[in-house]
């Protein structure tokens, strides 16, 4: 019974860790997307200035 309880705790801890890792990866993906949007906006601004002088 004690061993089963310990295993259950380990499984729950592993699941929580997986959720944390997934959340971190999602944050990285969102940050990357925002960075891509910023870079695209900057490039568009540069092209706009180059074209419309």
Cα 7 from Cα 14, distance rounded (Å): 10
Local confidence band at 2 (pLDDT 50, 70, 90 cut-offs): confident
Inter-CA distances, 41 with 33, 36, 47, Å = 12, 8, 10
Domain limits, the chain: 26-53
The answer to whether the predicted template modeling score (pTM) of the entire model surpasses 0.75 is no
Q: What is the pLDDT of residues 28-48, one digit of tens each?
A: 999 999 999 999 999 999 999
The percent of residues above 70 in pLDDT, for the chain, comes to: 98
Token couple for 46: 């540069």
The 3-class SS string of the chain reads: CHHHHHHHHHHHHHHHHHHHHHHHHHHHHHHHHHHHHHHHHHHHHHHHHHHCC
């Amino acid at each position: 019974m004690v061993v089963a309880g310990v295993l259950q705790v380990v499984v729950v801890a592993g699941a929580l860790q997986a959720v944390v890792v997934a959340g971190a990866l999602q944050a990285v993906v969102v940050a990357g997307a925002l960075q891509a949007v910023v870079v695209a906006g900057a490039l568009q601004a540069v092209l706009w200035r180059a074209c419309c002088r």
